[in-house]
Each structure stands twice: as structure tokens, then as C-alpha cells.
Amino acid sequence: MPAYNAEKTVRDTFNEIPKAFRKHIILVDDNSRDNTVETAKKLGIKVFSHPQNLGYGGNQKTCYWEALKLDPDVVVMLHPDYQYDATLIEEMIRPIIQGRYDFIFGSRIQNKRAALLGGMPPLKYYINRFVCLLENMLLGVNFTEHFSGFRAYSVKLLKTVPFQRFSNDFVFDQQMSVSSLSYGFRVGEIAIPTRYHEKASSIRFLKGSKFIIDTFRQIFLYRLHKTGLIKSRLFA
């Protein structure tokens, strides 16, 4: 769980995680200004604290680095803001355990009605759909979402994709997806409920705009890499 100011939601997130998967929970706190660390420790979660804020991507780097030390088969990334239904973890990891996929994410956008009833602001919904359409066309995939913060990775993928070279910013997730595709890993999705609420984390307009620009910059870099015009160490 990559955490930043998650004091109000980490308990609800933890309680929703099936008991069978609570033994090796890791929370990396990115120098929160609230009591996230204290709350997580009271729940029995293993906590790692950054002495300074590294950013969303920098947080995940520590998450995966520490998770790999546990010699896992699958690593699940779950935002501790209670926006994603953690009861579905078993469904997330099953296709990876069975060897059918290497990377599974939870999609909140199976249809417009469910997304809006789940509290997704209409503007975010339409931006999400537009960006998703463009990404699908440019990457040659057909996903219903690209922005999910609920993901599961095989250990083989995490040991192959050079995530330590990725950005420390929000575009990290997009780099994970594009790089995974470049290495030929099998990526799939499962439907999850849309659950927006006032305590959930959200990217502000300026950061969100930068995130979208950075996303397409990475895809453009990948396409140049594929044509052989440039060589990037982010991709296979």
C-alpha cells in the first residue's frame, strides 16, 4: 500500500482485505502529515517510512523493493484510500497464479451508469474514457481503463520490468503498463465497483493535466523505441 495522508481510510481498507492475505501487508508512508504511520502500526501492518516525500512513483518503488524481499509469487498494489474493493484480491491474483496473466488490474469503468452511480465525477469519467480510447489505439490494446490504483503483478514481471528507472511522479503506473507490454507480458483486467467518496485521494487539476501529458509522452517514447529511432532503457 503506497500511502500519503491515509489516516482516515487505512483502517477501512485493511479491514476489507481478506484475512488470508493479511500476513504480508506492507505500507510505505511517503512522509505523511497525519497519523497514517501510527494507525497502520496499530493494525499490525509492516510500515516503511520515507524521511521525505518522494512522490507516488517513488513510494511504489519502495513498496515493490520491500515486497520482493519476501520472495512472493504475486504482489498486489492497493491504494489505502478505500477507493478500491479489497475483497476482490483473490479474483485479481487467480489468473496470475494459474499462469494465464502476468499483470491484472481492476477496472472501475465497465459502463457509464455504474461509474457515475459509484460517485465518479462526470468530468473525470469523460476524460478517463477519452484518454483510454487514445491509449488503446496507440498501444494496440482494448482495456476499459488505464488509471486503476488496484493492480497485481507476477514476481517475474517485477524482476524484469525496470521500475526503478521510472518516474517518481504519478506517471509511474502508466510506465509500468507500457513497459510491461513492451516486454510481452500478458496484461488483463477484471471488473471492480466504482467507489468515489470524500476521503478518497484524487489528483488536482494541474497535476492531473501534467499526468496526462506525461502519459502520452511515455507512449510516444515507446513508439519511437519500437521503430528503432531511439533506444530507451525503460522498454524491452
Question: Is 109 within the bounds of a domain?
Answer: yes
Q: Per-residue pLDDT tens, the chain, 236 aa: give them.
A: 999 999 999 999 999 999 999 999 999 999 999 999 999 999 999 999 999 999 999 999 999 999 999 999 999 999 999 999 999 999 999 999 999 999 999 999 988 888 888 889 899 899 999 999 999 999 999 999 999 999 999 999 999 999 999 999 999 999 999 999 999 999 999 999 998 866 665 566 678 889 999 999 999 999 999 999 999 999 99
Q: What's the alpha-carbon Rg for the chain, to the nearest Å?
A: 17
Question: Is 178 within the bounds of a domain?
Answer: yes
Report the CATH number that the domain containing residue 176 is assigned in CATH: 3.90.550.10
Question: Is 28 within the bounds of a domain?
Answer: no
Residue with cell 497502520: 40
Among candidate residues 74, 79, 71, 102, the one with its CA nearest the CA of residue 90? 74
Question: Is 144 within the bounds of a domain?
Answer: yes
Count of domains forming the chain: 1
Please give the Cα distance from 146 to 143 (Å, whole number). Answer: 7
Question: Is 24 within the bounds of a domain?
Answer: no
Helix (H) or strand (E) segment spanning residue 187: strand 187-191
Question: Is 36 within the bounds of a domain?
Answer: no
Question: Is 33 within the bounds of a domain?
Answer: no
Please give the Cα distance from 53 to 23 (Å, whole number). Answer: 27
Q: Considering the entire predicted model, what is its pTM?
A: 0.92
Question: Is 101 within the bounds of a domain?
Answer: yes
Contact between residue 100 and residue 184 where contact means Cβ atoms under 8 Å apart: no
What is the domain extent for residue 138? 71-227
Sheet holding 26-29, edge to edge: 2-3, 26-29, 46-49
Please give the Cα distance from 43 to 172 (Å, whole number). Answer: 28
Contacts of 197 (CB under 8 A, 6+ apart): 82, 83, 119
